[in-house]
Amino acid sequence: MKKHLLLTLVLLTSCFSNPESNDSEKSVADSEINFEKTGQKIFEVDSITDYNLYYPSYYSSKAVLSCLNPSQNSIDLYDYELGVLKKRIGFKKGEPNNIKADLFGYQIINDETLFVIDKIGNLYISDWDGKIRKSINLDPEGIPGGPLIIPNLIPAFQHGELFYLENYYLSNPDRLMKIALDTASGHVDYRLTLPTESVEGFWGLGDFSYYNCVIKKDSIIYNFPNLDSLYIYDRELNPLGKVSAKSRNIDSPVEKLLDINNIPPESYLKIAAFTSSIYSRLIYDEYQNLYYRIVGKPINDTLLNSGDPIKSTEREYSVVIFDSQFNWKGEFELPDYEYDMAMERILVTPEGLLIQTKGDNEDMAVFDIYGKT
């Protein structure tokens, strides 16, 4: 896996208080809908599993919550209703017909097939018992970036005979960000350049390294952390245009932080990404036909210099809600410092938007459920 300047991904938010809402879900005064915590979902984890679940995702066909388990090189499946481990799909490493390096990403493709990616850019096509049917080197020519699949963040999708995956960790404009894969022949082709405006002034700085996309039936919608607008493409990667999806708490476009011709000292680079507003990710709720955009405010100088291990490194965050046509419906602040957003422990299920809490019980993975009320 190629090395890049990556800092811990953190999410941030800001919002004004609504006198009719409680302290944990404050909304912009003219929000058109109510959005609040409606319950919790708990999953029991065993002693060899980190209770901070990696890349959790809901697979509706079998009513399971899936996640990557790095310590076991496995994909774990939890019975969603019962909250207990149902199946562990393990992958051996280093032997013939097994994975060549530790698992790095995954996605359930259908009821018979999984895709898993290792840390050196190999894709493995597997059944639900971990038997590898085929392996493909996704980076035979050493193209900048790194192949990756995360089901709720940068999912793979099929169009015609090809699967499309993300070439991630790009910090320069005009790099190729999409991988077109013919699984039958193993042919790999890199396509779709990273928009210049999504990189210039940020150059892979901290959480500005990370974008995400939502896959729809007829389109792909990209969320770039420094841009008010979402970028829309058809499933053949042709641009369809942009749509504004702005937070009403960010008055102006996100200000550029870096001049590539005048690189600041390392001390600035360590904190620079925390000093700006950011659009962290876009989530689609297929059950409510709504979009959630995670957005927030910078950490102020007082907190940055406070030495507080939490407040100097973690940002507050909120959810901006849009309807299916990207009409603004509301903006809601979440409780401060209660969630660890670094590993994208967010997913949508029929119950609502689930966000994993930090918690202190290593035997349970606890998710707060948020929804429209």
> What is the Cα 249 distance to its own chain's centre?
22
Residue 13 falls inside a structural domain: no
Tokens of 52: 């901070």
Tokens of 188: 């790999």
Nearest Cα residue to 331 out of 267, 229, 250: 250
Is the distance from CB of 146 to CB of 1 less than 8 angstroms? yes
Residue carrying the six token digits 């969630």? 339
Terminal-residue alpha carbon distance, the chain: 44
List the Cα angle 326/332/333 in 5-degree steps: 140
Bridge partners, 106 (sequence order): 116
Q: Is 87 left (phi over 0), alpha (psi -120 to 50) or beta?
A: beta
Is the distance from CB of 12 to CB of 317 less than 8 angstroms? yes
Structural domain boundaries enclosing 321: 26-372
Residue 10 falls inside a structural domain: no
Domain count, the chain: 1
Residue 2 falls inside a structural domain: no
Alpha-carbon gap, residue 271 to 37, rounded angstroms: 32
Is the distance from CB of 15 to CB of 26 less than 8 angstroms? yes
Residue 20 falls inside a structural domain: no
Residue 8 falls inside a structural domain: no
Q: Which CATH number characterizes residue 62's domain? A: 2.120.10.30
HSE-up (13 A, CA, CB side) for residue 31: 28
Residue 291 falls inside a structural domain: yes
Q: Is 352 left (phi over 0), alpha (psi -120 to 50) or beta?
A: left
Tokens of 322: 């849009």
Q: DSSP secondary structure string, 190-201?
A: EEEEPPGGGTTT
Q: Going residue by residue through the chain, which has 373 residues, state the pLDDT in tens, using 9 for 90 and above.
A: 433 333 333 332 333 233 333 444 567 668 899 999 999 999 999 999 999 999 999 999 999 999 999 999 999 999 999 999 999 999 999 878 899 999 999 999 999 999 999 999 999 999 999 999 999 999 988 899 999 999 999 999 999 999 999 999 988 888 999 999 999 999 999 999 999 999 999 988 888 989 999 999 999 999 999 999 999 999 999 999 999 999 988 877 888 999 888 888 888 888 899 988 899 999 999 999 999 999 878 899 999 999 999 899 888 899 999 999 999 999 999 899 999 776 679 999 999 999 999 988 999 999 999 999 8
